[in-house]
Amino acid sequence: MNDYNIALIGRPNVGKSTLFNRLIGRKKAIVSTIPGTTRDRINGEIDINDEKIIVTDVGGFSEDQLDGFSDHIREQIEFSLNNCDLIIMITDGNEGIAPTDKKVAQIVRNSNKKSILVVNKIDNSNKEQFVNEFYELGFNEIIGISAYHNLNIDLLIDKILTELPSKSKNELNQISTQIRLSIVGRPNTGKSTLFNKLHGSKRSITSNIPGTTRDSIDYDIVVSNQSYNIVDTPGIRRRGKIDNFIEKVSVSKAIDYISDSDVSILLIDTIEPATNQDAHIIKTVLHSTDGIIVAINKSDLIKSRNLNHEDIGKKVREEFKFLKDAPLIFISGLKGTKINDLINLCNQIYKKSKIIHDENELNNFIMSKVAQNLPKNKPNQILHIYGVKQHQTYPNVFEFTVNNPNYVHFSYKRYIENVMREKFDYEGVIIKLFFRSRRKK
């Protein structure tokens, strides 16, 4: 591809995530003073002078982490270094050179990649002298910045542009519109394992410890000339169960990603297929995304646990009746079972969600169904429906013009949705109906 890739590397808590957010212009990485907050590689992009630059924030490199993820994080760092065009090493100007900085610097030099050393937290002129001591790490290019205060970021970007290698403009083939997928579910249902299988590498850290994924991480892949952006979200727990700041922020960002996605893949655990926590997540997804697939994961365990597909599927359908319009598929993220079928389902739902109906035909159909089943009105609350308009940018959104939106009962709204699903093939598509008053002339 024509994209350039930059890796941000450094020991924990030197400001990698703050610089990452500053470069991409939004708070995508979780920023915290707790060392080791970033465990996965997180990608973002910036466009400079018509060049698309992918920036990767990796986990902090530490020899003495105590949470059991150091080896995994080291794998993520090595992958990033092997697949980038430029490495930016970040250090802390307030703390000076730490022993871990020397080890990270050695790794960067051994990679034989172009690199820039950034001394962060240089937020006033008195601290500029601190930059000189970092030449001891053996870098030719050193820039003092303050990511938090946005100081010298423009200078860093200019230096990035001069250090990036030139690439052929013919490297990137035209690819169809990108489909945005989000993988959602409660903790430890196998979201990261499925994400890694789709991506084809250990892109996300997997573990049997619930809550391993803290950031929502995304990656672009191309399958059969179709581009996808796939997001692995952290396990979403009910609000009352969330007991720390980092998890609250990560769940909030996960919901943002779900809202941005075209199709959400809801992962449900074969062993525990219907819980209250699943119900909470489903409601979040139904209010956010445009399409949904119920993927019952870990199907490779069904036989060994003396379970069967029919009973599991029946339980999910009975417990979550509001998912009756969502396709259900048994998969194994670990073994790769039915992964191609899952992708094909995503494609089908995406196409259905983008169909634009003829306005006259749509209105004639809706008004005929209204005439067949008139709203049951309360005294002095007679509902009149004048027409419907489909949103051109978000085709799964339909806006009805009525005399008073407060007269629309939930059951009648459900009736309209049902007749639309009977008429049009909307399996897996989340139809959103809005009712507004007719404007007075």
Return the CATH fold of 4-163. Rossmann fold (3.40.50)
68: Cβ contacts below 8 Å, ≥ 6 apart: 207, 209
Contact by Cβ (8 Å): 95, 13: no
Contact by Cβ (8 Å): 389, 311: no
What local confidence, expressed as pLDDT, does residue 65 receive?
A: 44
| DSSP secondary structure letter of residue 429 | B
Phi, psi of 388, deg, nearest 5:
-140, 145
Whole-angstrom Cα Rg for the chain: 25
**Residue 431 and residue 428: Cα distance in Å, rounded?**
9
- The residues that bridge with 56 in the sheet, in sequence order, are 7, 43
Contact by Cβ (8 Å): 53, 4: yes
| DSSP secondary structure letter of residue 166 | P
Domain boundary assignment for the chain: 4-163, 179-353, 359-437
- The structure tokens listed for 73 are 């994080």
Instruction: Give the three-state DSSP class for 185.
Output: coil
**Residue 108 and residue 390: Cα distance in Å, rounded?**
54
Closest to 10 (Cα-Cα) out of 132, 153, 214, 147: 147
Same fold flag, 4-163 and 179-353: yes
Phi, psi of 429, deg, nearest 5:
-90, 135
Number of residues in the chain: 441
Phi, psi of 88, deg, nearest 5:
-115, 115
- The structure tokens listed for 224 are 């059969």
H, E, C per residue of 310-363:
HHHHHHHHHHCHHHCCCCEEECECCCCECHHHHHHHHHHHHHHHCCCCCHHHHH
Domain 359-437 grouped into CATH 3.30.300.20: yes
Closest to 268 (Cα-Cα) out of 231, 218, 230, 302: 302
**Residue 221 and residue 169: Cα distance in Å, rounded?**
20
**CATH, domain range 179-353:** 3.40.50.300
Q: What is the pLDDT along the chain (441 residues), one digit of tens a residue?
A: 456 888 888 888 898 888 988 888 755 443 434 344 444 557 777 877 667 788 888 766 555 543 444 555 566 666 667 778 899 999 999 999 999 899 889 888 888 888 999 999 999 888 988 899 999 999 988 999 999 999 999 999 888 888 887 654 444 444 457 899 988 888 888 888 888 888 775 545 444 444 444 456 777 777 777 888 888 776 555 544 445 444 455 555 667 678 888 999 999 999 888 888 888 788 878 887 899 999 999 999 998 888 899 999 999 999 998 888 999 999 999 998 999 899 999 999 999 999 999 999 999 999 999 999 999 888 888 999 999 999 988 899 999 999 999 999 999 999 999 999 999 999 999 999 999 998 654
What local confidence, expressed as pLDDT, does residue 72 receive?
A: 57
Q: How many helices (H) and strands (E) does the chain have?
A: 11, 15
What local confidence, expressed as pLDDT, does residue 169 receive?
A: 42
